[in-house]
Amino acid sequence: MRDFNEATIPVMHDSAQSATSRITEAVRLHIEISDKRRPELLRLRGFRSILSETQGREVTNMELEYHAAMKGLVIEGCQAGEFRTPDATLATMAVLDMLNGVRSWFRQDGVLSLSEVVHTYTAMVHKLLANVTQAPGAGSRG
């Protein structure tokens, strides 16, 4: 988790780049690191219950830090007019669920290459964040 955050969060905070460029790079890094560190990331889920309270809190804090960086990037992209999602909180959760799910099914010897998954997921994230419609009853949350 620490290595993951150290690689991805600075990219999301790099205000010298556009929000679109940063989300593209964040998606790539997330998927590539998830593949590279897949065994550890999958084991973490199963072993969370045996972590000490301090270790559990540290893992949770790293997850929250990553989530906050992604949400901040989505909000910043909306403010810059690059993204048009009506709900930054929900969009962030959707992006993270998509990205975290890759490690559950992707295999190096599978039908799609890692670069194909990165390319496809990047396009899907861009479409999700460019959504200008709002579902009935959905509210806008920052």
The model's confidence at residue 134, banded by pLDDT at 50, 70 and 90, is very low
Tell me how far apart the alpha carbons of residues 111 and 103 are, in angstroms, rounded to a whole number: 15
Average pLDDT over residues 19-40: 90
Length of the chain: 142
Predicted confidence (pLDDT) at residue 133 exceeds the cutoff of 50: no
The model's confidence at residue 136, banded by pLDDT at 50, 70 and 90, is very low
Between residues 86 and 92, the one the model is more confident about: 92
Tell me how far apart the alpha carbons of residues 69 and 46 are, in angstroms, rounded to a whole number: 25
The dihedral formed by the CA atoms of 33, 34, 39 and 44, expressed in degrees to the nearest 10: 110
Q: What is the pLDDT of residues 31-78, one digit of tens each?
A: 999 888 776 666 666 566 777 889 889 988 999 999 999 999 999 999
- Report the percentage of the chain scoring pLDDT > 70: 85
Tell me how far apart the alpha carbons of residues 132 and 3 are, in angstroms, rounded to a whole number: 35
Instruction: State the chain's mean pLDDT as an integer.
Output: 87
The model's confidence at residue 4, banded by pLDDT at 50, 70 and 90, is confident
Lowest-pLDDT range of 7-16, 99-108, 109-118: 99-108
pLDDT score at 44: 60
Predicted confidence (pLDDT) at residue 139 exceeds the cutoff of 60: no
The model's confidence at residue 140, banded by pLDDT at 50, 70 and 90, is very low
